[in-house]
Amino acid sequence: MKLLLDTHTLVWWDSGELARAVSRRIESAEVVFVSAVTAWEIAIKSGLGRIVARAPVEVVLDDYGFLELPVLIRHADRVRTLPLHHRDPFDRLLVAQALVEDLVIVSADRLLRKYKAPVVWD
């Protein structure tokens, strides 16, 4: 299975706060991607004091062997066709990336389940 971590999933993974079942799913994945949009969200929310990150996202990816998923034009174009189930632009772009790249999103956000992208949290 090819996974795409939601922002909170990456932060909780790195801090050891993920449920064991979710951690096992990530550990057993074929490949784990982290989007550039996640780095952007963490940078913004860290600056606002809403997220505490141990290290820059690039360092976290290196520590765990996760792969970077850049934001491409085709990802941004796919956002245009998504229904407005979710108003968070970061999450909408993650959904678009998952749909375009055939990835499974790992997220506790139940609103993401309204989209056609597969979402897991266990």
The region, left, alpha or beta by phi > 0 then psi within -120 to 50, assigned to residue 117 is beta
- CA–CA dist 103, 97 (Å, integer): 8
Percent residues over pLDDT 90 in the chain: 85
Between 115 and 95, the higher pLDDT residue: 95
**Structural domain contains residue 120:** no
Domain holding 33, by residue range, is: 2-113
**Structure confidence by residue, pLDDT tens digits, 47-59:** 999 988 889 999 9
CATH number for 13: 3.40.50.1010
**Structural domain contains residue 119:** no
Burial status of residue 122 (CB atoms within 10 A of its CB: 0-12, 13-18, 19 or more): exposed
Q: Are 122 and 112 in contact (CB under 8 A)?
A: no
**Structure confidence by residue, pLDDT tens digits, 34-44:** 999 999 999 99
